[in-house]
Amino acid sequence: MNQFYGDAIEYLPILGKGLYLTITVTIGSLLLSTVLGLFWAVLRVSSIRALAWISVIVINLLRGIPVIVVLFFFYFVLPDWGVSLSAVQAAILGLGLTYSAYQAENFRAGIEAIDRGQLEAASSIGMGWGLTMRRVILPQAVKLILPPYGNIMIMMLKDSSQASTITVAELALQGKLIAASTFKSSTVFGLVALLYLAMCVPLIVLVRYLEKRNNKR
């Protein structure tokens, strides 16, 4: 046990650098996926059928392509087309774009859960579709989608480890490099697992709290 503590003190500063990149990639991709997901969802519920179909096609394409393939596309393929991205930028764009499809379905479910009578009431007092969405529908939908939104956040945090495949030295890759050089795999990956748990458990507790609060309404 003393050996474990000694190794932890030695390795944690290095793992901390990876932890910083993990959090950076997660927050960046979460923000991007939220904005894009809301955009796809609004198109999906639009009364303009062409826009709704475009959204359906985009969402299904993004859900059908593995995250790692999207990451490879942004990091390895785009430079052939004259667009060069850093590994972190490619990771944020790849994860954000992929998860925007799941965010879109989450937002769509929340929007469609709102009673259509409220749409009709808003229309009867002269509110346009855009204003109705912004003032009436979305504020209520946000409360409904918070628990599944939290679950998506946890999934993104764990899937940020996929960024290691395009050389982002996040937590998982830093652990792999340390383990390869020290041959102390059990200690290193034990620390990596504990760090992931330290990030995920508060989010899990938050999601559970939001679910209970919504169930009481």
- Tell me the CA distances in angstroms from 76 to 25, 62, 66, one per residue in order: 18, 18, 15
Q: Assign domain 2-215 one CATH number from 3.30.420.40, 1.10.3720.10, 2.60.40.640, 3.40.50.720.
A: 1.10.3720.10
Give mean pLDDT, residues 126-145.
Answer: 75
Cα–Cα distance list, 99 to 9, 29, 166, 171 (Å): 35, 8, 18, 20
Under the banding of pLDDT at 50, 70 and 90, the label for residue 132 is confident
Q: How confident is the model at residue 1 (pLDDT cuts 50, 70, 90)?
A: low
- The 3-state DSSP composition of the chain as helix, strand, coil percent (nearest 5) reads 90, 0, 10
Query: Residue 210 is encoded by which pair of tokens?
Result: 């939001």
Q: Which residue would you say has higher pLDDT here, 48 or 135?
A: 48
Digit-coded pLDDT (tens) for 144-195: 888 888 889 999 999 999 999 998 989 998 999 999 888 888 889 999 999 9
**Does residue 134 contact residue 67 with C-beta atoms inside 8 Å?**
no
| Alpha-carbon gap, residue 213 to 26, rounded angstroms | 26
What six digits make up the tokens of 179? Answer: 């383990």
Per DSSP, 75 falls in state: I
pLDDT above 70 as % of the chain: 94
Q: Does pTM surpass 0.85? A: yes
Distance of alpha carbon 206 from alpha carbon 211, whole angstroms: 9
The count of other CB atoms within 10 Å of the CB of residue 136 is 16
> What does the alpha-carbon distance between residue 181 and residue 203 come to, in Å, rounded to a whole number?
33
CB atoms within 10 A of CB 64: 8
- What count of other Cβ atoms lies within 10 Å of the Cβ of residue 33? 24
Of the two residues 121 and 181, the one the predictor is more confident about is 181
- CA dist., res. 122 & res. 4, Å (int): 63
Q: Which residues contact 106 (CB under 8 A, 6 or more apart)?
A: 37, 41, 145, 148, 149, 152
The lowest-confidence range among 2-6, 13-17, 199-203 is 2-6
* Average pLDDT, integer, range 59-88: 93
